[in-house]
Amino acid sequence: MMRRTKTGGMRLALGAALIAVLATTPACKRSHAEEKGDDVPEGQVWLTDGQVKDAKVEVEEVKVREVDDTVLTSGKIAFDDAKVSHVFSPVAGRVTKISVTLGQKVKKGEVLAVVESPDIGAASADVNKANAELIAAEHDLAREKELLAAHAASQRDYEQSEDSYRKAKAELDRARQKARLLRAGSYDAVSQTYTLRAEIDGEVVGRNLSPGMEIQGQYSGGTPVELFTIGELDRVWMVADVFEMDLARVHVGTSVTAKVLAFPQRLFEGKVEWVSGVLDPTSHTARVRCSFDNKDRMLKPEMYASVSIAVDQRMALAVPRSAVLRIGEQTVVFLDRGVNGQKRVFERMPVHVDEAEGSPWLVVEHGLDAGMKVVKTGGILLSGKL
């Protein structure tokens, strides 16, 4: 789950693959032969204004900028607990009707399914039986107490009566709870059916039943199965773990960016909502919960995410992430060297940058000076002309 090292972005890897393809195409080879010429220095590309326009080349000045200092980790997308409902049946029985399908939007109170169950007719009888057993246990306990006071019964007999009384009381509470739950829902004592309804507004994102299926109830003694999951996906959580050494810099409200494998070019923005007050005893990490707007439904529960938490800001020499390319084993940018005659001169320049994920800017460690102009759009096409 954890990732502490700073690794190169997927965009650089994709760029390197595209560069390799471009370099082998006939069009690129013609450009090299026709446009470069013997007088063009190695590592440079000379283009006319028309060619620059066609290649959609854009440049950006290298300068000191405010950049984020980040903590890198990984996490998992999850439902917002306040916007998800796990639906179980309180009674055991047979599913006779299912009213919703996966992906369907439902409103609170809307019918999900109908269960035919003998538990419904037995609920009132269970309450009456449990109440009678409690009354009998009360009488036994009172009698044993009197006998104990008269030294006519042992302490052990009295304690057994106390235990029987507690069990009878617990059974009555259970029976009453089951009856209350049935009364609160939609049940029909005549047809012996129970209607399951949505407890919140949302979308049916999970369904684990079919018509005719026999199910266990929450109060029937078996192991109940979650029948429906109703969730609202317009806002989701991302849960991550942060090392102890970084905790002092992570606070509620801190900005977070995340990437997922399904959409590698998309940077999702969120906020830290909660930082755990305890550490995991094994990993010495604290759980951090972040909230992300998800109106486009691109983030889905159980997705893994690469996470960057912006814990601080600093001033540093930086270039746009899009300006940095990976060519073979080299990390390079293309510099705009100005005009030479009728041609615009672009030069490939090796650089060392901090390639941490999550920021649109990469900090320059070596190879560039303030005031230089780098190609931020069109660099891949320029590399194909070398």
CATH of the domain at 209: 2.40.50.100
pTM: 0.58
CATH of the domain at 27: 2.40.420.20
Percent composition of the chain: helix, strand, coil (DSSP 3-state, to 5): 30, 40, 30
Q: Which two tokens stand for residue 206?
A: 């999970």
Are 107 and 200 part of one and the same domain?
yes
The number of domains in the chain is 4
Mark whether 337 and 352 lie in a shared domain: yes
Q: How confident is the model at residue 20 (pLDDT cuts 50, 70, 90)?
A: very low
Alpha helices for 75-151 (secondary structure H):
119-149
User: Which band of pLDDT confidence, cut at 50, 70 and 90, is reported for residue 27?
Assistant: very low
Cα gap 97→126, rounded to integer Å: 27
Q: Hunting for tokens 């390319």 — which residue is that?
A: 325
- Of the candidates 183, 211, 229, which is a domain's last residue? 229
Per-residue pLDDT tens digits for 328-378: 888 999 999 999 888 999 999 999 988 665 567 888 988 999 999 999 999
Q: Which residues pair with 38 in a beta bridge?
A: none
- Residue 278 vs residues 125, 163, 169: alpha-carbon distances, Å: 47, 38, 38
pLDDT digits (tens, 9 = 90+) for 256-308: 999 999 998 899 999 999 999 999 999 999 999 999 999 999 999 999 999 99
Tens of pLDDT, residue by residue over 173-203, are 887 877 776 665 566 666 678 889 999 999 9
List the CATH number of the domain containing 161.
Answer: 1.10.287
* Cα–Cα distance for residue pair 344/364, rounded to 1 Å: 25
Query: Do 254 and 320 share a domain, yes or no?
Result: no
Q: Which domain holds residue 166?
A: 119-191
Which residue, 312, 341, 372, sits at the end of a domain? 312
Indicate if 343 and 360 belong to the same structural domain: yes
Task: Name the residue among 236, 231, 306, 304 with its Cα closest to residue 271.
Answer: 236
Q: Judge whether 110 lies within some domain.
A: yes
Please, are residues 55 and 47 in contact by the beta-carbon 8 Å criterion?
A: yes
Phi–psi pair at 34, nearest 5 degrees: -85, -35
What amino acid is encoded at 101 in this protein?
T
Identify whether 326 is part of a domain.
yes
